[in-house]
């Protein structure tokens, strides 16, 4: 899919304005409704309200981390980047946790999923899914998807999104798995890298959905078993290309979940081209077993993306 400059500019405009409003702030819940591209009341019809409510009984925590990586898009030199990490309530080094890497869109950064706010909806949904016994607790990491010294939403080249796989493989996953209690402990006797796939998931909105397809399924299927694309942005990895890339793949795809709004003028065509027909062209995907294409009225915004997150959180690691 050839990206039109106008669509990119519009997507960046929308996301940059939202990030400016949320960056570095600790917002109270009542202020959330004013944020651009935040879900409207409509979300209440789609995500049961008990999953988006504040509840203090079992509240997880969010911490900001910094980790060493490289300017893979540029000179390859060492740089430091930030990410947010959600740890479920009762997180303990005596247990092992699954990890979801959750990616942002073209004009966003590691804070676009709101993990820098006390009222983080990702946290509320996770806290409540765990509290109500719908899912096993897992860790959520929201990194910055540009592998470049220029990782700021404003001064970056969007092509730096395409080389994030190197950062994920060489730097971020190793950092997370040595810093937290996960299944990827390489120091353990009998450590088998292939067995860790079922404990790692990758998902993302728009440009992050593109990354899940191009990088997750396209380059890192040895690392991940679960994939989620929410309104995936234009990608050269169409369904036919993904089928070709996975043709001789020895690994099982445990699930590939997709969601897109039918009124999404930015991503409906691209997300469809990348995923909708996958079960028809690739025997690795079977609709209803390890694949879902969900389309419903909606645009290119968080009404769709939080619903996607809520649904995917219940699909991953099952
Ligand atoms: C494009 C349209 C949209 C594109 C990227 C996007 C790279 C990303 C949108 C988003 O992340 O919200 O043509 O090309």
pLDDT in tens, 59-110: 999 999 999 999 999 999 999 999 999 999 999 999 999 999 999 999 999 9
Ligand 1 pocket residue status of 220, Cβ below 6 Å? no
214 closest CA partner among 103, 132, 305, 120: 103
What's the confidence (pLDDT) of residue 38? 56
pLDDT at 222 (0 to 100): 97
Give the nearest ligand 1 atom to 2 CA.
Answer: 13
Taking the model in full, what pTM does it have? 0.92
Dist CA 291 CA 304 (whole Å): 18
Q: What percent of the chain has pLDDT over 90?
A: 77
For the domain 3-315, what is the CATH code? 3.40.50.1820
How far does the centroid of ligand 1 lie from the alpha carbon of residue 150, in Å?
18
Nearest CA-CA partner of 168 in 107, 212, 199: 212
Ligand 1 midpoint to CA 232 (Å) = 8
Two structure tokens written together for 49: 């309200």
pLDDT at 7: 84
Q: What average pLDDT is seen over the chain?
A: 90
**Nearest Cα residue to 162 out of 145, 142, 143, 144:** 145
Q: Ligand 1, residues 36, 158, 237, 266: which to mutate, most atoms within 8 A of Cβ? A: 266
Which pLDDT belongs to residue 315?
Answer: 96
Instruction: Report how far ligand 1's centroid is from the alpha carbon of 266 (Å).
Output: 7
Q: How far is the CA of 113 from the centre of ligand 1 (A)?
A: 17
Question: Which atom of ligand 1 is found nearest the CA of 5?
Answer: 13
State which of 19, 161, 207, 210 you would mutate to test the pocket of ligand 1, scoring each by most atoms of that ligand within 8 A of its C-beta: 207
Least confident range from 50-54, 245-249, 266-270, 274-278: namely: 50-54
* Tens-place pLDDT, residues 11-59: 877 776 554 444 333 343 333 333 345 555 555 468 998 999 888 889 9
141 lines ligand 1 (CB under 6 A): no
Tell me if 245 CB under 6 Å of ligand 1. no
Please give the Cα distance from 62 to 283 (Å, whole number): 39
């Amino acid at each position: 899919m050839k990206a039109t400059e106008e669509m990119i500019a519009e997507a960046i405009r929308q996301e940059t304005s939202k990030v400016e409003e949320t960056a570095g702030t600790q917002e109270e819940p009542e202020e959330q409704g004013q944020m651009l591209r935040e879900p409207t009341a409509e979300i209440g019809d789609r995500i049961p309200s008990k999953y988006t409510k504040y509840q203090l009984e079992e509240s997880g925590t969010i911490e900001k981390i910094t980790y060493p990586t490289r300017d893979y898009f540029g000179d390859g030199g060492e740089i430091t980047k930030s990410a947010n990490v959600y740890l479920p309530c009762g997180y303990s080094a005596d247990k092992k946790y699954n990890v979801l890497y959750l990616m942002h869109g073209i004009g966003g950064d590691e804070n676009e999923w709101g993990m820098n706010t006390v009222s983080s909806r990702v946290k509320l949904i996770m806290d409540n899914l765990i509290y109500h016994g719908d899912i096993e607790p897992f860790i959520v990491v929201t990194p910055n998807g540009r592998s470049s010294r220029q990782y700021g939403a404003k001064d970056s080249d969007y092509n730096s999104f395409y080389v994030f796989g190197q950062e994920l493989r060489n730097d971020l996953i190793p950092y997370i798995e040595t810093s937290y209690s996960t299944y990827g402990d390489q120091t353990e006797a009998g450590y088998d890298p292939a067995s860790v796939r079922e404990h790692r998931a990758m998902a993302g909105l728009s440009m992050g959905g593109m990354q899940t397809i191009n990088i997750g399924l396209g380059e890192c299927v040895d690392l991940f078993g679960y994939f989620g694309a929410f309104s995936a942005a234009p990608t050269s990895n169409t369904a036919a290309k993904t089928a070709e890339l996975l043709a001789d793949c020895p690994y099982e795809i445990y699930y590939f979940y997709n969601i897109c709004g039918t009124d999404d003028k930015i991503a409906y065509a691209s997300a469809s081209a990348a995923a909708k027909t996958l079960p028809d062209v690739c025997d690795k995907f079977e609709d209803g077993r390890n694949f879902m294409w969900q389309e419903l009225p909606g645009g290119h915004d968080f009404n769709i993306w939080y619903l996607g997150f809520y649904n995917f959180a219940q699909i991953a690691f099952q």
